[in-house]
Structure 1
Amino acid sequence: MASLKDVAKLANVSLMTVSRALNSPERLKPETLSRVQSAIDATNYVPDLSAKKIRGAHAIAKTIGVLALDTVTTPFSVEITLSIEETARAHGWNSFVVNMFSDDSPENMVDLLLSHRPDGIIYTTMGLRQVPLPEKLLNLPCVLANCESLHQQVASYIPDDEQGQYAAVRALLSAGYRRPLCLHLPAAHLATVRRRKGLEQACREAGVAPETLGHYYMAFGDEHYRDIPAVVQAHIHQQKPLFDSVICGNDRIAFMVYQTLMAQGLRIPEDVAVIGYDNMVGIGDLFLPPLSTVQLPHYEIGRLSALHIIEGKAHRDVIKVDSPLLLRQSMNAVK
């Protein structure tokens, strides 16, 4: 990569002249500025923004540093980081992402992030969780996206999982379904606990005792999605389901449910309604019939988190972002 010295040598000027061409071009004679700019083009020189910021140069776009824990392991991270990037650009800011995996040293990753001299920090995770926040991050404006601080009070933007599940179950029960089979994500997941609250509230309002429903909690680990068919089949006797609908912890569970029901000769939604959660990127409409599900608001979480930094908001509240219900053909409007 070309350096400042390479540009100065090619343009036959001093390092100070090149620096002025980058930071204060109005201070140079037009012919000198043109010579430096030609040298920059010829060497493909890229200015060091962090170095310019340290020197106190003016008119340098402010930067959001994103510390992303495990988020590259899911397509949902695309929406969070894309939203942060688009929001930053729309307001004249830049953003960059440092990916951190579970086996990385948090201290080393934080030091790497801070070495780029961000003006604010967004800490985001794959899957709603509570995280211990490194103290160094709190030396700058900091906000959490899709996670909550385990110890400190820090502004957070998270999905409203209780509201999302409540809306889905209420719609299901309002359509006349009364015997749902509930296939939850692992019990220890923060989202699972909150979604169960939303489910129970909707059931009680509809006069359905939630404890009388069939509840199954998936074990932790992707390999346990393969357990779903056996759970569903255990509730089908002589090709007749003991349930009239299935409430799925996410769309991946719903995919397994679809395959199992169809293999048993059961129709969706004529025999059994299915409702998912997440609205997996690019997948919901590919189910046949299209899957009713709840949208995880990751794009909106990214946008609000970026605006928190850009607008210099000072609150330290946990903000729950609405998770909208997307009604498609896997559930009858009236039953």
Structure 2
Amino acid sequence: MASLKEVAQLAAVSLMTVSRAINEPQRLKPETLARVQTAISALNYVPDFSARKMRGRSTKVSTLGVLALDTATTPFSVELLLSIELTAREFGWSSFLVNITSQEDSKRAVSQLLSQRPDGIIFTTMGLREVEIPERLLDKNLVLANCLSREHALPGYIPDDFEGQYQAMKALIKKGYQRPLCFYLPDSIPAGICRRAGAEAAWQEAGLPAQQLRQFHMASGDEHYRDVVALLNEFTPHDKPDFDVLVCGNDRIAFLAYQVLLAKGIAIPQQVAVLGYDNMVGIGDLFQPPLTTVQLPHREIGREAVLHLIEQRPNSGVIQISSPLLERASL
């Protein structure tokens, strides 16, 4: 690996000039900066920020640690992690990721993260949920992303699931749908509760009969996704649906529902419209017709969490990020 001295020799400048090119480029003449940058590129030189930080010689480069519970081991939240990395890089921060693979693995993960002496920490999860924050993190520069603390008043950024489902239901009502069938996420998780409340608020606001809003929560656990098949069979006697729109707790439920409805010869959206939730990465193109869904704001959550640390924002508690409706051909 090339050294700072080798860069200085190739660029024909002093060691101090190379240091300024890395840390304070605005102090150099454009032609000098260009010469140093060319030498850095030619030698593939990588500055050792961590060593300089430990010696206390620079505060220009800060480090962001991400503690990820399930997030990095699933395909559903890739935008959140990518947004964190890109935003940190945009503002000159470095970032690193430590996975928590289970609740029992928490102690190891926290020790690994703290050993890197991060200037800020983001605790994130796949799927909005309440989490237990390890005691050793409570006095650190910490922000939550896509999760809630059960016991501590910590800053955090989460999706506005109530408003997302509220606006989606308003759009359905405006289009004339009046016999919805709703399969929500389990009522044991925050998203399941908030999304149902949002749908009910829009329905009541429109003055529609409560008995026409048929609602069910899925049971907890991935193995219960297939319960959608039995539920749809119940509400499609003789393959004739007695509902005009299916409101799905997420896109995975919608994906199963498509298979059942189309196998019965039920046309989407001519006979039954379908609404999803999440805009799950990698699945949108698999629906035919394309699925109308609500966008989880993972990209915005990741960015705001990083900016919270970089800008040293005050602890304003939990801040909800809007989840927009993405209208496609399933309505």
Q: TM-score with structure 1 length normalisation?
A: 0.84
> How far apart are the structure 2 equivalents of 1:226 and 1:25?
58
Q: Structure 2 unaligned runs (5+)?
A: 7-14, 23-35
Per the alignment, residue 159 of structure 1 pairs with 159
Range with bigger deviation, 136-145 or 226-235: 136-145
Question: Is the partner of 1:154 in helix, strand or coil?
Answer: coil
Per the alignment, residue 245 of structure 1 pairs with 245
1:173 CA displacement: 1.3
Per the alignment, residue 295 of structure 1 pairs with 295
CA contact (8 A) 2:53 2:59 kept: no
Per the alignment, residue 25 of structure 2 pairs with none
> How far apart are the structure 1 equivalents of 2:327 and 2:2?
56
CA contact (8 A) 2:70 2:125 kept: yes
Question: Is the partner of 1:281 in helix, strand or coil?
Answer: coil
Runs of 4+ displaced beyond 4 Å = 19-26, 44-48
Per the alignment, residue 186 of structure 1 pairs with 186
CA contact (8 A) 1:76 1:298 kept: no
> How far apart are the structure 1 equivalents of 2:105 and 2:2?
31
> How far apart are the structure 2 equivalents of 1:234 and 1:87?
48
1:73 CA displacement: 3.1
> How far apart are the structure 1 equivalents of 2:93 and 2:281?
27
Question: Is 1:101 aligned to residue 106 of structure 2?
Answer: no
Per the alignment, residue 313 of structure 2 pairs with 313
Range with bigger deviation, 151-160 or 233-242: 233-242
1:59 CA displacement: 5.6
Per the alignment, residue 126 of structure 1 pairs with 126
State the identity %: 54
CA contact (8 A) 1:50 1:117 kept: no
1:221 CA displacement: 1.6
Question: Is the partner of 2:77 in helix, strand or coil?
Answer: helix
Per the alignment, residue 89 of structure 1 pairs with 89
Please tell me the root mean square deviation across aligned C-alpha atoms, in Å.
2.7
Question: Is the partner of 2:117 in helix, strand or coil?
Answer: coil
> How far apart are the structure 1 equivalents of 2:100 and 2:159?
22
Per the alignment, residue 9 of structure 2 pairs with none
> How far apart are the structure 2 equivalents of 1:119 and 1:139?
12
- How has the CA–CA distance of structure 1 residues 252 and 224 changed in structure 2, closer, same or farther, with 3 Å as cutoff? same
Whichever residue aligns with residue 86 of structure 2, its letter is E
Question: Is 1:222 aligned to residue 236 of structure 2?
Answer: no
Q: How does 1:230-309 map to 2 (within 5 A)?
A: 230-309=230-309
CA contact (8 A) 1:181 1:247 kept: yes
Q: How does 1:4-153 map to 2 (within 5 A)?
A: 49-58=49-58, 60-153=60-153
Per the alignment, residue 174 of structure 1 pairs with 174
Question: Is the partner of 1:58 in helix, strand or coil?
Answer: coil
CA contact (8 A) 2:179 2:212 kept: no
Whichever residue aligns with residue 288 of structure 2, its letter is L
Question: Is the partner of 1:105 in helix, strand or coil?
Answer: helix
CA contact (8 A) 2:186 2:218 kept: yes
CA contact (8 A) 2:278 2:293 kept: yes
CA contact (8 A) 1:23 1:57 kept: no
1:206 CA displacement: 1.7
Question: Is the partner of 1:176 in helix, strand or coil?
Answer: coil
Question: Is the partner of 1:139 in helix, strand or coil?
Answer: coil
1:223 CA displacement: 1.8
Per the alignment, residue 15 of structure 1 pairs with none
- The CA deviation string for residues 59-96 of structure 1, in whole angstroms up to 9 with x for no partner, is 65111111011102322321111111111111111111
Q: Structure 1 unaligned runs (5+)?
A: 11-18, 27-33
CA contact (8 A) 1:181 1:215 kept: yes
1:214 CA displacement: 2.5
> How far apart are the structure 2 equivalents of 1:278 and 1:207?
28
CA contact (8 A) 1:49 1:60 kept: no
Aligned length: 307
- The CA deviation string for residues 224-278 of structure 1, in whole angstroms up to 9 with x for no partner, is 1112111101111122111111000000100111111111111011000100000
